[in-house]
Amino acid sequence: MAAIQDPSYVKICALLASRLSISLASARRRVDQAAAQDGHRDLETRRAKAQAMLDALDEVGTNHGSQLDTLLQNSEGDGNFILED
């Protein structure tokens, strides 16, 4: 049976996932890896690490969603874009 997740940790990871335009699982994995690099694996440290990552995104002010939209836009002159499948 899956372990019950801490709601505040999941919420912070969900906000991080939303800001980075990635899945919740990817955001949790990033936080878990960053906390493991610091040598801490407890819930409080992971929650603090996730909040720090979210605060760092707020400081930078980059909207990764719009950046991804820009990257996904195609141009008709792009030779690498396939119109037919």
Q: For residue range 51-84, what is the model confidence (pLDDT) as tens digits?
A: 999 988 887 766 666 666 666 665 555 666 666 6
The 10s digit of each residue's pLDDT in 12-59 is: 999 999 888 889 999 999 999 999 998 888 889 999 999 999 988 887
Which of 20, 19, 40, 16 has the alpha carbon at shortest distance from 28? 16
Going by C-beta distance under 8 Å and a sequence separation of 6 or more, which residues neighbour residue 34?
49, 53
pLDDT value for 38: 87
pTM confidence score: 0.67
CA dihedral 64, 58, 18, 43 (to 10 degrees): 130
